[in-house]
Structure 1
Amino acid sequence: MLCGGTSAFAEADEKIQKCDHVRAEAEEKAGKKFPEYTAKTYKKQIVAGKNYFIQVHVGGDEYVHLSVFEKLPCNGGEIKLTNIQVSKTQHEPIEYF
Protein backbone atom coordinates (compact mmCIF):
# COMPACT_ATOMS: atom_id res chain seq x y z
CA MET A 1 0.00 0.00 0.00
CA LEU A 2 1.38 3.41 -0.96
CA CYS A 3 1.49 6.12 1.65
CA GLY A 4 -1.94 7.75 1.50
CA GLY A 5 -3.21 5.07 -0.91
CA THR A 6 -5.86 2.51 -0.12
CA SER A 7 -5.23 -1.13 0.72
CA ALA A 8 -6.43 -4.08 -1.29
CA PHE A 9 -9.91 -5.42 -0.57
CA ALA A 10 -10.20 -7.59 2.51
CA GLU A 11 -13.02 -9.57 4.07
CA ALA A 12 -14.67 -7.72 6.95
CA ASP A 13 -13.52 -8.95 10.35
CA GLU A 14 -14.68 -8.25 13.89
CA LYS A 15 -12.99 -4.82 13.95
CA ILE A 16 -14.74 -3.74 10.74
CA GLN A 17 -18.09 -4.88 12.14
CA LYS A 18 -17.66 -1.93 14.50
CA CYS A 19 -19.28 0.04 11.68
CA ASP A 20 -22.35 -0.88 13.77
CA HIS A 21 -21.42 2.26 15.74
CA VAL A 22 -22.49 4.39 12.79
CA ARG A 23 -25.62 2.43 11.77
CA ALA A 24 -28.13 5.00 13.09
CA GLU A 25 -26.31 7.83 11.32
CA ALA A 26 -26.07 5.78 8.09
CA GLU A 27 -29.81 5.06 8.22
CA GLU A 28 -30.53 8.74 8.83
CA LYS A 29 -28.38 9.83 5.86
CA ALA A 30 -29.94 7.12 3.65
CA GLY A 31 -33.44 8.14 4.75
CA LYS A 32 -34.50 4.61 5.71
CA LYS A 33 -34.01 1.77 8.19
CA PHE A 34 -31.93 -1.18 7.07
CA PRO A 35 -33.44 -4.64 7.75
CA GLU A 36 -29.91 -6.09 7.82
CA TYR A 37 -26.52 -4.48 8.45
CA THR A 38 -23.49 -6.69 7.91
CA ALA A 39 -20.07 -5.50 6.75
CA LYS A 40 -18.73 -7.70 3.93
CA THR A 41 -15.54 -6.20 2.49
CA TYR A 42 -13.44 -3.11 3.03
CA LYS A 43 -10.41 -1.08 2.08
CA LYS A 44 -8.46 1.15 4.42
CA GLN A 45 -6.34 4.24 4.03
CA ILE A 46 -3.77 5.41 6.57
CA VAL A 47 -3.92 9.16 7.12
CA ALA A 48 -3.85 11.07 10.41
CA GLY A 49 -5.98 8.17 11.61
CA LYS A 50 -7.62 5.61 9.34
CA ASN A 51 -10.25 5.92 6.64
CA TYR A 52 -12.27 2.78 6.03
CA PHE A 53 -14.35 2.23 2.91
CA ILE A 54 -16.79 -0.51 3.86
CA GLN A 55 -19.29 -2.50 1.79
CA VAL A 56 -22.31 -3.26 4.00
CA HIS A 57 -25.15 -5.66 3.12
CA VAL A 58 -28.42 -3.97 4.15
CA GLY A 59 -30.96 -6.53 2.96
CA GLY A 60 -32.01 -8.37 -0.19
CA ASP A 61 -29.68 -7.49 -3.06
CA GLU A 62 -28.91 -4.04 -1.64
CA TYR A 63 -25.59 -2.81 -0.30
CA VAL A 64 -24.29 0.54 0.85
CA HIS A 65 -20.74 1.83 0.87
CA LEU A 66 -19.63 3.66 3.99
CA SER A 67 -16.71 6.00 4.41
CA VAL A 68 -15.73 5.85 8.09
CA PHE A 69 -12.93 7.74 9.83
CA GLU A 70 -11.23 6.41 12.95
CA LYS A 71 -9.21 8.95 14.91
CA LEU A 72 -5.84 7.99 16.32
CA PRO A 73 -5.98 6.63 19.89
CA CYS A 74 -4.08 9.69 21.14
CA ASN A 75 -6.95 11.80 19.72
CA GLY A 76 -9.68 9.73 21.36
CA GLY A 77 -10.06 6.92 18.81
CA GLU A 78 -13.56 8.11 17.85
CA ILE A 79 -15.26 6.40 14.88
CA LYS A 80 -17.29 8.70 12.63
CA LEU A 81 -19.30 8.19 9.45
CA THR A 82 -18.04 10.68 6.86
CA ASN A 83 -20.03 9.63 3.80
CA ILE A 84 -22.43 7.01 2.44
CA GLN A 85 -23.32 5.73 -1.02
CA VAL A 86 -26.66 3.92 -1.30
CA SER A 87 -28.24 1.53 -3.81
CA LYS A 88 -25.04 -0.42 -4.44
CA THR A 89 -24.79 -4.06 -5.48
CA GLN A 90 -22.58 -6.87 -4.21
CA HIS A 91 -20.23 -6.62 -7.19
CA GLU A 92 -19.77 -2.84 -7.38
CA PRO A 93 -16.22 -1.94 -6.41
CA ILE A 94 -15.62 0.37 -3.50
CA GLU A 95 -13.93 3.51 -4.75
CA TYR A 96 -12.53 6.44 -2.78
CA PHE A 97 -15.37 8.86 -2.03
Structure 2
Amino acid sequence: MATQEVVSGLDKLSAVSCEIQAIVRSLKPAVEEKLNRSFSIFHAISYRSQLVAGQNYFVKVVVGDGDDYIHIRVFEPLPHTGGQPSLGEIESDKKLFDKIPYF
Protein backbone atom coordinates (compact mmCIF):
# COMPACT_ATOMS: atom_id res chain seq x y z
CA MET A 1 0.00 0.00 0.00
CA ALA A 2 1.82 3.13 -1.18
CA THR A 3 1.20 6.45 0.46
CA GLN A 4 2.28 9.96 -0.35
CA GLU A 5 5.40 11.05 1.50
CA VAL A 6 6.07 14.42 3.06
CA VAL A 7 9.65 15.72 3.08
CA SER A 8 10.96 15.80 6.69
CA GLY A 9 7.70 14.27 7.96
CA LEU A 10 6.51 10.74 8.44
CA ASP A 11 4.04 9.30 6.00
CA LYS A 12 1.00 7.25 6.94
CA LEU A 13 1.23 3.71 8.28
CA SER A 14 1.82 1.20 5.49
CA ALA A 15 1.71 -2.56 5.10
CA VAL A 16 5.14 -4.13 4.73
CA SER A 17 6.37 -4.90 1.22
CA CYS A 18 8.75 -7.71 0.31
CA GLU A 19 11.51 -5.08 -0.02
CA ILE A 20 10.98 -3.76 3.53
CA GLN A 21 10.77 -7.32 4.90
CA ALA A 22 14.11 -8.19 3.24
CA ILE A 23 15.77 -5.06 4.66
CA VAL A 24 14.49 -5.85 8.16
CA ARG A 25 15.64 -9.49 7.91
CA SER A 26 19.11 -8.36 6.86
CA LEU A 27 19.35 -6.20 10.00
CA LYS A 28 18.27 -8.93 12.46
CA PRO A 29 21.86 -9.73 13.59
CA ALA A 30 22.53 -6.02 14.27
CA VAL A 31 19.29 -5.72 16.29
CA GLU A 32 20.10 -8.87 18.29
CA GLU A 33 23.60 -7.59 19.03
CA LYS A 34 22.39 -4.13 20.05
CA LEU A 35 19.67 -5.54 22.35
CA ASN A 36 21.81 -8.48 23.53
CA ARG A 37 18.88 -10.78 22.73
CA SER A 38 18.19 -13.48 20.21
CA PHE A 39 14.86 -13.70 18.40
CA SER A 40 13.25 -16.86 17.02
CA ILE A 41 10.52 -14.66 15.49
CA PHE A 42 11.54 -11.49 13.64
CA HIS A 43 8.89 -10.27 11.21
CA ALA A 44 8.07 -6.70 10.14
CA ILE A 45 4.33 -5.98 10.19
CA SER A 46 3.96 -2.26 9.43
CA TYR A 47 6.05 0.84 8.86
CA ARG A 48 6.15 4.55 8.27
CA SER A 49 8.75 6.27 6.15
CA GLN A 50 10.45 9.64 5.96
CA LEU A 51 12.04 11.07 2.85
CA VAL A 52 15.49 12.48 3.64
CA ALA A 53 18.73 12.25 1.64
CA GLY A 54 17.62 8.67 1.22
CA GLN A 55 14.81 7.04 3.16
CA ASN A 56 14.20 6.46 6.87
CA TYR A 57 11.91 3.58 7.74
CA PHE A 58 10.28 3.30 11.15
CA VAL A 59 9.25 -0.35 11.36
CA LYS A 60 7.14 -2.35 13.83
CA VAL A 61 8.64 -5.83 14.20
CA VAL A 62 7.10 -8.78 16.04
CA VAL A 63 9.90 -10.48 17.99
CA GLY A 64 8.13 -13.12 20.05
CA ASP A 65 4.97 -15.02 20.79
CA GLY A 66 2.14 -12.98 22.19
CA ASP A 67 2.41 -9.21 22.32
CA ASP A 68 6.20 -8.68 22.01
CA TYR A 69 7.21 -6.01 19.50
CA ILE A 70 10.01 -3.55 18.84
CA HIS A 71 10.24 -0.47 16.65
CA ILE A 72 13.41 -0.01 14.60
CA ARG A 73 14.61 2.92 12.54
CA VAL A 74 16.41 2.00 9.33
CA PHE A 75 18.21 4.34 6.97
CA GLU A 76 18.37 3.41 3.30
CA PRO A 77 20.75 5.68 1.36
CA LEU A 78 20.06 6.91 -2.14
CA PRO A 79 20.75 4.21 -4.77
CA HIS A 80 23.57 6.11 -6.51
CA THR A 81 25.66 6.03 -3.29
CA GLY A 82 25.92 2.24 -3.37
CA GLY A 83 25.35 2.18 0.39
CA GLN A 84 23.42 -0.50 2.24
CA PRO A 85 20.53 -0.01 4.69
CA SER A 86 21.71 0.55 8.25
CA LEU A 87 20.16 0.22 11.69
CA GLY A 88 19.48 3.41 13.60
CA GLU A 89 17.58 3.49 16.87
CA ILE A 90 15.52 0.74 18.52
CA GLU A 91 12.53 1.09 20.83
CA SER A 92 11.76 -2.09 22.76
CA ASP A 93 8.83 -3.20 24.94
CA LYS A 94 6.26 -2.22 22.32
CA LYS A 95 2.80 -3.68 21.81
CA LEU A 96 0.75 -4.38 18.68
CA PHE A 97 -1.36 -1.23 18.89
CA ASP A 98 1.45 1.17 19.91
CA LYS A 99 1.75 3.91 17.31
CA ILE A 100 5.01 4.20 15.41
CA PRO A 101 6.36 7.70 16.20
CA TYR A 102 9.43 9.52 14.96
CA PHE A 103 12.38 8.49 17.12
Q: TM-score range by the shorter chain?
A: over 0.9
**1:13 aligns to 2:31 (yes or no):** no
Unaligned runs of 5+ in 1: none
Would you say how many aligned residue pairs link Structure 1 and Structure 2? 97
Residue matched to 1:33 = 38
Inter-partner Cα distance in structure 1 for 2:30 and 2:44:
15
Deviation of 1:78 (Å): 1.0
| C-alpha distance after superposition, 1:20-68 (max 9, x if no partner) | 1110000111110012001000000000000000000011110010000
**1:85 aligns to 2:85 (yes or no):** no
**1:3 aligns to 2:10 (yes or no):** no
Seq. identity, %: 36
**Letter in structure 1 aligned against 2:99:** P
Alignment of 1:32-71 (within 5 A): 32-60=37-65, 61-71=67-77
1:25 alignment partner, SS class: helix
